[in-house]
Structure 1
Amino acid sequence: MRPRAGSKALIREINEALVLDVVRAHRPVARARIATETGLSPATVTGITSRLLGAGLLTETDAVRSTGGRPARLLDLGTDAVLAAGVRLSDTDAYVVLVDLRGDVVASHQEPLTSTRPQDVGESVARAVAVAAASRASSTLIGVGVAVSGVVDQQYGIVRHSGSMGWENVPLQRQLTALLETPVVLDSYVNSVASGLLLFDGGLAGRNLMIFSVGASLGASVVVEGRIHRGFSGTAGGFAHSRVGTDAGRPCHCGAEDCLETWASHWGIQRELERRGVKPGSLVGCDDDVIASAADSLGTAVANAAKMFGPERVVVAFTPEMNVPALTAGTEEVFRRQYAHGTTPPPALEIAATGPSSHASGAAYTVLARLFTADTADTSDADATGARGTVTAG
């Protein structure tokens, strides 16, 4: 069969991603193990690692002695050649971090927003990224990840709905790509958090998880066999606009009433406090029944979602303004109560803290992840396949 045009370049790109992924997962690692893990020949691994060392994507560590023969030099991910930027957008600012290949934050910058108009937001993001990147001018910026609260269609680069930003169907990726002149990837807050967990927590490879974000808005990430399931138009995990049997006529920013968002998000709780004539502020010490209702709605909704999907682990991550004991403990208690008479054991539950840095770093990790991912969609003409679906060459 005649190979398609560009197939050699595609094979090289796939194999480089496979090698980088093994180094990421087992760093530092010997070339022999890379060959075993990928199914590539030792000669091919030597050629690929030489290119990656030359590009600064890999670095050699001190030699270690094996059972015999020459000492092996281990390979690790480089820290200086390339960086990814992550941006966490809120209705008040753009918080930017730069991360290296190992996932470490090496620079950050916070830029206030003049408004939430998409054009103004884009210009603020461009300024923020430029300031952060200037501090590491010797490194190459390979892309910018942007995390937005709401429903994000990553495939088409569109923010379908964001209550906190007041947006509907905003083509933010196209706008930012033109301003930044670098690849841009969009995602929701919660999927950004999930990206970070999946990329740098080796114990989650191939696992089935649900990750919930509780902050200004609510979100859920559905992880199937180690990969984020996004659904049609990015709508998987549409947790905020579900209902859990409440009927109080609370209006939601989506146009419906009594969405979970109106009961258990920071936005919803503040609106309810306003309705009661209470000045919005910290949740510490606010009306006990408001927090109890939020915990009851949230714990029930998380349990219902988990029962539908059947994950082995559930993470509920609270932002700083929502991380108050009455809410976190109440949510956990209600969640466990929902499984008290179930026929199957509940999934492992983890209550976690998250915030702007987690969202921004996670957005950067969505960019990094593409360096470690072998896209085999166009490899049907390849001559041979090794372990893990790798394409061998050279």
Structure 2
Amino acid sequence: MRDLTTREAEVEVLSGLGRKGPACLRLRSAAGTWLLDAGFGPEAGDPFRREWLLGAERVFITHDHIDHIGGAAEVVAAGLPIHCTRQTARALPAGEQVHILPEHGRTEVAGVTVTTGRNGHALGGVWLHFGLGEGLFYSGDWSEESDWFAFDPPPAAATALIDASYGTDDVPQSERRAQIGRWLDALDARQVLFPVPPSGRAGELALMLLARGRGEVSLDPACQAAVAAALEAGGLAPAAQALAPLLGRPFDPAARYLLCDTPNADGGMAGRIVGEWRAAGRLGRDAAVLFTGHMTAPARAIAAQGGTFLRWNVHPPLSDQIRMLDRIGARRFVPLFCARPEAYPDLTRTGAVPALSGKVIV
């Protein structure tokens, strides 16, 4: 391990390069050794590895989705301080040492300026910008297409660690919305379950379904709680208030459209509904499941019986990735969470050079 000058920093991608796996990166500088995210999964066979904590002095968590926060119990057991927003801290296990980050603002940590902004992806979710070298930007997961979550543009950074979950796919949200609409129209009166992360797609899919106006929309208790917390916290996109009338209503499993936790229907109310539909012989007959995000093995099994996958963008398509790199003036970037990062050298619309080794000097 090379010695760093006081003006340098080094990032090593411990997990998250070359596949959709747990998010965990090591940031080393004169200020110390820090971890960026501590994820588990999303597949059951992708645990957070305890050895990633070796030498770490503090951990920054961007948002509360399992592939970014799922290893938090190991962090707490190691006695390390965790830096995250107040909303994300609600998902941490007991015994945590939390240092609250603003959803939009600046914080000094061990002499380093840490700037945060809303990531357009999850309730309380933020991107991170570190005042190291010529600027280091870590997007975590991000989206600029949401009608529900707000997004704050980040400051300039020569080095960018960006969410590239969709790789070089460049289909915009407008087309995703149209695809889902056509599929729903073809179902006639069939009942549809949308398995969702409550603090993620629940709000924006509910907005889309309400705008269609072709059937009752019902949120399970976990989704209602997340939507209510989001509306109370504020800082959402202007359209978000349209969901207020859905709150406080008892969950109705007979409604046309059901928005339920968990996103892969492997637990929570979504898992329960699928189990009931299977037992009654309804799955694939008069009831369907629409998966809109990354599918794990349980979700793929359900889809084979009576489900469909149609993506709802919660990560940036290629055009947004390129615009981000241009906007912040990045000269080098790491495309995270995608299966083929090697595809990125073919991009010529930005001067940023992809760093694919898993290590980069800031």
TM-score, shorter chain, exceeding 0.5: no
Which interval holds the TM-score relative to the shorter structure? 0.3 to 0.5
